[in-house]
Amino acid sequence: MSRFYDSASNLVRRIYEKRIDAPAILDAESDFPNSAKFAVAWQAIRDEAIAVRMDKMPRFHDIMPEQADISANDGLDWRMFILKAYDVEVPENIARSPTLKRLLAECPEVKSAIVSFLAPHKHIPRHRGPFRGIMRFHLGLQIPKEPGGRPATVMMIDDREHRIADGEGLLWDDTYPHEVMNNSDQPRIALLLDVWRPHMPPDMEVLSRLIVGAVQIGMRYRGVSYTG
């Protein structure tokens, strides 16, 4: 990561950690009730995702060069089909995903929605997100399996192993250290949602809105293409 990004992330993280005490793994039923809508529709979401040309989608470090150390670390692809990023929609991509378009319209607490394509044997090294104002929801769409049937994609979150299968979800706080390994010969496809954290202290609510606004300005300034 760039020194500026790393320093800013550490500062923001420390501010939130002092004001919001949150576990690494969260309760989707209480903290993100609408997660059930996405889980019920996982097969339709998967079918729309499979129709996307993965090789035409940008890699994470194409979008955020400062993340090259976790995206371009091993020469294997981590590509993203971005439908919405911090409330800024990508109309061309939304139009290709009618199921997600409907669900996102029903769930305004979802600030970002990305279909993540992880290449076979891709390893995303241990890192931390900066922003506790949102929660991360993973939904398995096409998860490779080990010979014994277990999911072959491993998420280490706060040094604990988590595996989700097709149609299964996990809500968690990405400010905790985490890494991901796709231990298979097949790509992994998952839906990643950034969800507004409920019941924040008023000052953190205000700060979170300021951060989202700043990110939106930065996205427009960069002018990155999010389409294939």
Distances (CA, A) of 226 to 33, 114, 193: 29, 11, 16
Number of structural domains the chain divides into: 1
Q: Is residue 150 part of a domain?
A: yes
Whether 12 maps to a domain, the answer reads no
pLDDT score recorded for residue 171: 98
Instruction: Write out pLDDT tens, residues 174-217.
Output: 999 999 999 999 999 999 999 999 999 999 999 999 999 988 88
> What is the model's pTM?
0.92
Contact 137, 193 (CB under 8 A): yes
In whole angstroms, give the CA distance from residue 169 to residue 137.
7
Kindly state whether residue 105 falls inside one of the protein's structural domains: yes
Question: Mean pLDDT of all residues in the chain?
Answer: 92
Q: 69-100: per-residue pLDDT in tens?
A: 888 888 899 999 999 999 999 999 999 999 99
Q: What are phi and psi of 54, to 5 degrees?
A: -60, -40
Domain span holding position 160: 22-222
- Domain assignment of residue 15, yes or no: no
Query: pLDDT per residue over 123-159, tens digit each?
Result: 999 999 888 999 999 999 999 999 999 999 999 999 9
Residue 118 in domain:
yes
What was the pLDDT predicted at 142? 97
In a domain, 156, yes or no: yes
CA-nearest of 44, 23, 20 to 207 is: 20
Is pLDDT of 223 > 80? Answer: no
Which domain CATH number covers 201? 2.60.120.330
Does some domain include residue 189? yes
- 33 pLDDT above the threshold of 80: yes
Within a domain: 201 = yes
